[in-house]
Structure 1
Amino acid sequence: MQPQAGEGFGAIGQIARSVTDIAAAERWYRDVLGLPHLYTYGTLAFFDCGGVRLMLSANDEGGAPQAAILYFRVADIVRSHEEMQARGITFLGAPHMIHRHADGTEEWMAFFADNQGRPLAIMSQVRQD
């Protein structure tokens, strides 16, 4: 099933931050900061920030946490990918499903870089009928 058709970017759908200790970060963001915890999947913890999803990921490489990644919502990830490529944007790969939720909703993403090489992504949720 293809994502629903649509034009342009929607709201920012997700911001990713790397952390050195995922368990400690999950507790802090949930219990101290008070963000609603959505779910944890392996070394990833997800929170709701007023409709924008915050993804915390364990920094497996040690060292300092990496810069945040902005994920832009699009209605049709395949079409957006094609249109962006036509404008000269180079993607690291084709749009692909990265997760299927318990209700069957699929998370699709495709990654690219800005003019300074910093990571960005487009994302779309595909609901199965």
Structure 2
Amino acid sequence: MTISISKVGQIGIPVKNVDRAISFYHETLGLSLLFQTDTMAFLESNGLRILLSLPEKEEYATASSVVYFQVDDIEDTYDQLAKKKVVFRGEPHVVSKMGNVETWMVFFYDTEGNTHAFISEVEGNS
């Protein structure tokens, strides 16, 4: 039997404070809040669920993998979120060029110490 993964359906992000994390992901980043409990919250980004949860065991309390959020205008996203005090690691910059398409990226921290990124593909001048 061949394994056939159709898509990534959910990404889990460990948090230290559920309410603070909800505020960041829902209010600051604008993700839709589906529902929450005392120990977790489910948000949604264009069909992908994001689970914010207090770790069940200490071994799961480390920072998550980097989640790359696709945005249309990385400079505008950067400017708007910098005004909301989101902490960035540098400024948006080109990371690759394929033909006339440039991939731009900028990394940022959430309120729980996780590193994530915004990524945008734009038509360049080739």
The structure with the largest alpha-carbon Rg is 2
TM-score by length of 1: 0.48
